[in-house]
Structure 1
Amino acid sequence: MTTTWLRGMALAATLPLCLQQALAHDIRAAPNAATPAPFDIIRTEITTSGGEVVFRTQVREQAGSLTPQPTGRFEGSSVYAYVWPTSLNSADVGFERDQGIVALAATFHPDFDDGAKGARNRHIWHSHWVVLAEDRACPGGLKVRDIPAGTRPRVPETWPGVPLLIDSPDHAVTFSRDTVEVRIPLAGLGAIATASYDGVTAGLRVDANLHAPLLCVADVFKVASGKLNLPGRVMPGR
């Protein structure tokens, strides 16, 4: 699945502009009774509207109602996420260039806080920019990219101080029955206008020994496109 994702990203980056514009701006998927309803994606989209970028995913029902069981420890704890992988470059969201797959994620984790400047965000759904990278040590084949000890890479102002390429901007996550939505300012993110994307629901896990990879994709509940080939196109909202 990871190989398909990376190949799909490369293909999206080389498509002629006329063909990119012809692609459907949203991604629709058939319901799957084997997938838990709150993570069973049936439609996902990214649009721009009124100076904002709107990330929206519709699931079969009860969006946001499933959250990980608390463990009482950071080590080995779990994260649930609604994720929008994109073709953005990591430099577009404040990191060094060409670091991996840039994704916006709406996440919930009851056992730790990773808000900017020490803000508390456990027990609530909240948003992150993350940079994902391939790692065969992870059950899902991907990790949030680690920051090696002793290095000082470029990070955004709202980086939470953890050794990962993760950003914690204060963009609210909202739910409405079957839909999850995150709205972020368009200003400073002009590259999103020509981006491609996909939609994923997933579970992540913190390494039990706090070794790299520190945060792995452990379970992929559903991929909107079925192939992680980023077929969606960001379009002006209706």
Structure 2
Amino acid sequence: MKHITATAALVLSSILSAFAGPDCDSCKRPKSTVNEADYKIVSASVTHNKKWGQLEFEIIVQGQAGKSTSKPAGKMNGAPVDGYVFPTTLSPEDVGFSKTAGILALAITAHPDFDDTPLWDENGDGDYRNDKIVWHPHWVVLVEDKRVPGGLSVKEFDPADKSVVLPKTNPGMPMYMDSPGFQVVTEGKAIRIVVPDYRVRFRTSFKYDAVAAYMQVVTGEGGEHAKGDNMPMLGVYKVYSVLSKNLSLPYQVK
């Protein structure tokens, strides 16, 4: 556990450059429609509910959680992704990825330009392809990436690499990303998500932090993200807030 925490702190420390880095509007970001108070984290918790066998994640913000989101780009290349993220000391294998280096994080996201949860109908209208702006979860593996102002991106892999294993609920992208379908609830200043114990292989004791960030998709002008492209497929471009301030992942599941 100590080794994982130290590694997490080392990688995540790069995200601090977002506060001093270039503004995202200079990174081809659409004019922001986000109220940053909605992404100013004031507290967070992860509670293990033994009675119901589940982990209950919660972030409290200064404004209204999940109320404001980014303006659509109108295409996949440059599409915005807003997120509330729990970096953890869990390992990628705990949620069904093959062994790989990086930080496993639970990200609650919304994005107006695409739907990446093909197995789930989050708005309950019978159409599994139109849940773009509905807040929903992803497991992601984060790695340091100095190409983007936020210093992190979702780890990618070569689609031809047959050794890579993803959870069965993955959205079919060449990234360490899963779309697990957990329930997300927004209520006033709070955004919450519930994870059954068995979905983390009963690893209910771990450390975490809480981050709110703006991310962006890069697919290339042709719409296909090729190996060797200059920018990551999904990178962090702006950090709105970090609960611990120093990204030491100091918080423990209660």
Q: Same fold (TM over 0.5)?
A: yes
Matches within 5 A, 1:18-29: none
- What is the alpha-carbon distance in structure 2 between the residues aligned to residue 218 and residue 86 of structure 1? 20
- Alignment of 1:83 with 2:81, yes or no, is no
- The aligned residue for residue 103 of structure 1 is 105
**Deviation of 1:204 (Å):** 0.4
Task: Indicate the SS of the match to 2:143.
Answer: strand
- What is the alpha-carbon distance in structure 1 between the residues aligned to residue 217 and residue 199 of structure 2? 31
- What is the alpha-carbon distance in structure 1 between the residues aligned to residue 95 and residue 10 of structure 2? 18
- The aligned residue for residue 8 of structure 1 is 9
Matches within 5 A, 1:108-119: 108-117=110-119, 119=128
- The aligned residue for residue 181 of structure 2 is 170
Check the 8 A contact 2:197/2:204 in 1, yes or no.
no
1:125-162 Cα distance to aligned partner (Å, 9 max, x none): 11111110111112211000112241131000101101
Check the 8 A contact 1:76/1:206 in 2, yes or no.
yes
- What is the alpha-carbon distance in structure 1 between the residues aligned to residue 191 and residue 201 of structure 2? 23
- The aligned residue for residue 141 of structure 1 is 151
Task: Indicate the SS of the match to 1:66.
Answer: coil
**Deviation of 1:188 (Å):** 4.0
**CA pair 187-208 structure 1, distance change in 2 beyond 3 A:** closer
Check the 8 A contact 1:192/1:234 in 2, yes or no.
no
- What is the alpha-carbon distance in structure 1 between the residues aligned to residue 219 and residue 241 of structure 2? 25
User: Aligned AA for 1:227?
Assistant: N
Instruction: Choose the corresponding residue for 1:183, options 174, 177, 194.
Output: 194
- What is the alpha-carbon distance in structure 2 between the residues aligned to residue 172 and residue 7 of structure 1? 26
Q: Percent identity?
A: 37
Matches within 5 A, 1:182-201: 182-190=193-201, 192-201=203-212
- Alignment of 1:129 with 2:139, yes or no, is yes
Tell me the TM-score normalized by structure 2.
0.77
- What is the alpha-carbon distance in structure 2 between the residues aligned to residue 189 and residue 216 of structure 1? 25
Alignment length (residue pairs): 208
List 4+ stretches of structure 1 deviating above 6 A. Answer: none
Q: What RMSD, in angstroms, separates the aligned Cα atoms of the two structures?
A: 2.0
- Alignment of 1:46 with 2:56, yes or no, is no
More displaced stretch, 165-174 vs 113-122? 113-122
- What is the alpha-carbon distance in structure 1 between the residues aligned to residue 154 and residue 205 of structure 2? 24
- What is the alpha-carbon distance in structure 1 between the residues aligned to residue 134 and residue 75 of structure 2? 17
Check the 8 A contact 2:213/2:239 in 1, yes or no.
yes
Matches within 5 A, 1:189-228: 189-190=200-201, 192-207=203-218, 209=220, 210=225, 211=229, 213-228=232-247
**CA pair 158-116 structure 1, distance change in 2 beyond 3 A:** farther
User: Aligned AA for 1:180?
Assistant: I
1:49-107 Cα distance to aligned partner (Å, 9 max, x none): 12111110000121111111011100011100000000011100111123310010110
Name structure 2 gaps, 5 residues minimum: 12-34, 121-127
- What is the alpha-carbon distance in structure 1 between the residues aligned to residue 119 and residue 62 of structure 2? 36
Task: Indicate the SS of the match to 1:87.
Answer: coil
Check the 8 A contact 2:8/2:103 in 1, yes or no.
no
- What is the alpha-carbon distance in structure 1 between the residues aligned to residue 201 and residue 45 of structure 2? 17
- The aligned residue for residue 63 of structure 1 is 65
Task: Indicate the SS of the match to 1:102.
Answer: strand
**Deviation of 1:231 (Å):** 0.2
Task: Indicate the SS of the match to 1:8.
Answer: helix
**Deviation of 1:5 (Å):** 8.0
Check the 8 A contact 1:146/1:163 in 2, yes or no.
yes
Check the 8 A contact 1:9/1:230 in 2, yes or no.
no
